[in-house]
Amino acid sequence: MPTADSKTESKEQPLKLASANRLWAVAAIVAIFALGLVAVGALRYFDLHSENPPAIAAYATAIYVSLTVLAAILLIRAGVPLRRLGFFLAVRPWIIFALVLLGVGLLQLSGSLLTPVWEYVFGSGRDLTRFSDVAGSLGALFGLLALSWTLAAFGEEIAFRIVLMRGIAYALGDSRAAFATALVVQAVVFGLVHAYQGPAGIAGSTISGLVYGGLTLAARGSIWPAAITHGLNNTIGILEVYAG
């Protein structure tokens, strides 16, 4: 005759199986999304560095946006709590302001300190050929700043720090170790996506990814500190290219 304990176990087994299946589904979505982002980085690389880039390379940005939207929808349907894609205030405004100052300071300091290291290790700094049209052109400057604050600052933060990092952490169990792993993995993927900037660009972007990810975790999943920091840091770099 079945006991109360055996009945409870029989009810819990389907729930555990369903939970395990959901985690595997999330892991699969995240893995495919990460590979897709790296593929977009490869398309951008070939578009800039190949004499005969594939025609699809011209649509790299559109593919990147589509992948992000699709991954977000699939992860939300799978039960990942993305919480309005990070557009919420989980900390007080003054904390966001402090995190932005910290983030910009860290990125500028690391850039100054590590640029000579990249030049020594890789033989050159970041390849910024993609942005060369901005030099001396006010129209190109404003156009690039607009893209930087939309597709880069907010678009990349949604893709990497909200969708990818949150998805990885969820698939790994939402523990501290899971979030630490997610922080590192998303930063590495972020670096690889910037392969068109050369080895120094990959290394530098990986460090930037760690900073942006750290800001997002410090803000309890809010996108605002990392996005504002991202936009300000890019603006400083773009103005330097403009000034020549």
**Residues 177-209: tens digit of each pLDDT:** 999 999 999 999 999 999 999 999 999 999 999
Contact 112, 240 (CB under 8 A): no
pLDDT score at 19: 79
Indicate if the pLDDT at residue 21 is higher than 70. yes
Indicate if the pLDDT at residue 137 is higher than 80. yes
Give the pLDDT band (50/70/90) at residue 129: confident
pLDDT score at 72: 97
Question: For 80-84, which contacts have Cβ atoms below 8 Å and span 24 or more sequence positions?
Answer: 80/26, 80/166, 80/167, 80/170, 81/166, 81/170, 82/162, 82/163, 82/166, 83/221
Instruction: Show the domain range for 45.
Output: 4-243
Tokens found for residue 78: 């799978």
By the 10 Å C-beta count (0-12 exposed, 13-18 middle, 19+ buried), 132 is classed as exposed
Tokens found for residue 116: 């000579």
Lowest model confidence (mean pLDDT) among 1-10, 59-68, 98-107: 1-10
Closest to 221 in 3D by CA, of 70, 81, 103, 98 = 81
> Per-residue pLDDT averaged across 53-61, rounded?
92
Residue with tokens 């604050």: 149
pLDDT score at 14: 57
User: Which residues contact residue 42 at a Cβ distance below 8 angstroms, ignoring those fewer than 6 apart?
Assistant: 195
User: Which residues contact residue 85 at a Cβ distance below 8 angstroms, ignoring those fewer than 6 apart?
Assistant: 72, 158, 162, 163, 223
Indicate if the pLDDT at residue 92 is higher than 60. yes
CA 226 from centre of chain: 10
Higher pLDDT, 18 or 237: 237
pLDDT score at 2: 57
As for how many domains the chain has, the answer is 1
Count of CB atoms situated within 10 Å of the CB of 169: 26
The pTM of this model reads 0.92
Q: How far apart are CA 60 and CA 39, in angstroms?
A: 9
